[in-house]
A and B are shown apart, each in its own frame.
Chain A
């Protein structure tokens, strides 16, 4: 436990040092943004769309009983912006990207590729960790925005064309009740979730045990730790950001 904390702290310091003094390259970060951000778009957008649809449907079923149909899309919009969009997008990215990072770096470790990097005048943090952490931290807020946009669009489409909610009042309520701070909350959460996912994946990969079992364990641990971490961090950020913004 203490060794683990020491390793986490050491890696955090090393990433911070590498950001300022390391020999990382912008091209490495761009390549990772493509791998992490661009290639995660489909899974994040599908998640956002279906979350928006089901949230709209369930909200409508309850609000309809009290004649509050036109508030349905406002609830969908606020929830998607500040909570469901960032959390669900991050959980999907943790499963897709975090696991892949742990597996890739873990395999490199057990096959001595990381030792080879070290002998080729390349610091593993500069070449492997920093570009991944930076790329995920940059890409995640954009992915959150996409999930939110698709979720709201899906909810609007279902509400107006499927459930017969009045489009004019619904739109007005949605715009009135959704504030910039709701979207900012989601974007800021995405930034932190991106850092958490990528750091966990890199840490677990770099320090995984030997053999295929070690790599498998690192991959599983990454998804579990990232997922629980996202939910816990989300709660903390919700409280903190509600005070700040």
Chain B
């Protein structure tokens, strides 16, 4: 279970998170939505221990990770995986080396076993036989798939996705959404997706957390989110800017 309690974070005079409280149950597919620049990625970085909060706590399976040292966090992160917004592939390595990186560093498998596992994982993300390509040879959607394969190769129990469909066309976005859903179902993992893409919410989400002004404004199922008549939620879901008077 992931629990966030009273999380505050400021960068200079900008107060990005102003007391975030939320709980994500084990096995749940949670979607965190909010406007661009609203602190979604900052929240994700706190949950994964990549940055430390000014105040508040983050619990992963009961362990408070908010002020752990980096080497202690490494142990906690063995059970997690992150797919980054820009894929963050290691550009000096081939696709196969990227995907097999975790296992290679771990040193528990032979190179033959790693190659086999890499091939299986690439097949899962529909990238069969792409091991010898280089990240620079791949399209945006393919890079995200490789990033996902790299993240899940060690069978983590929690997978985080930071804007998985950002910058992709609707067709590729849809395929990524279905891929996330498929991995969620096949591997039975806790899934946390940061997005402002409503199609992702529909396809992947089981519970939605809406971040507004640095706080969780709404916790709901996707159906409840889309049916909401709350002006803030309605405007966000329907993509209406503040200058328009929706309810009139």
Contacts and interface: CB of A to CB of B under 8 A. Distances in A.
A166 interface: no
Given A121-B105, A121-B106, A116 B74 contact: no
Nearest to A18: B71
A220 interface: no
B86 A111 contact: yes
B111 to A, nearest CB: 12
Contact of B70 (A23, A118, A120): A118
Nearest to A21: B71
Contacts of B90: 108, 113, 116
B101 interface: yes
Given A111-B88, A112-B88, A113-B90, A119 B82 contact: yes
Contacts of B45: 115
Interface residues of A, number: 14
Contacts of A112: 84-86, 88
B202 interface: no
Contact of A121 (B48, B50, B77, B86): B77
A120 B105 contact: yes
A50 interface: no
Contacts of A118: 50, 70, 73-74, 77
A119 B86 contact: no
Contacts, number: 54
Interface in B89-105: 89-91, 101-102, 105
B150 A123 contact: no
Interface in A96-122: 108, 111-113, 115-116, 118-122
A116 B84 contact: yes
Contacts of A113: 88-91
B133 interface: no
On chain B, which size bracket covers the interface?
Answer: 20 to 34
Nearest to B102: A120
A120 B71 contact: no
Interface in A117-144: 118-123, 127
Contacts of A120: 101-102, 105, 150
Interface in B127-161: 150-151, 154
Max chain B C-beta neighbours (<10 A), residue from A121, A122, A127? A121
A125 B84 CA distance: 21
A123 B154 CA distance: 17
A127 B85 CA distance: 23
A115 B160 CA distance: 13
B81 interface: yes
B204 to A, nearest CB: 20
Interface string B35-77: 0000000000100101000000000000000000011011001
B88 A115 contact: yes
A120 B77 CA distance: 8
B187 interface: no
A119 B80 contact: yes
B78 interface: yes
Given A120-B102, A123-B71, A127-B105, A115 B84 contact: yes
A116 B82 contact: yes
A105 to B, nearest CB: 12
B77 A119 contact: yes
Nearest to B150: A120
Contacts of A127: 105
Interface string B10-37: 0000000000000000000000000000
A23 B75 CA distance: 13
A47 to B, nearest CB: 28
B105 A119 contact: no
Interface of B: 45, 48, 50, 70-71, 73-74, 77-78, 80-82, 84-86, 88-91, 101-102, 105-106, 150-151, 154
21 contacts: A111-B88, A111-B91, A112-B85, A113-B88, A113-B89, A113-B90, A113-B91, A115-B50, A115-B84, A116-B90, A116-B150, A119-B77, A120-B102, A121-B74, A121-B78, A121-B102, A121-B105, A121-B106, A122-B101, A123-B74, A127-B105
Given A118-B74, A119-B82, A119-B151, 8 more contacts: A113-B91, A115-B45, A115-B82, A115-B88, A119-B80, A121-B74, A121-B154, A122-B74
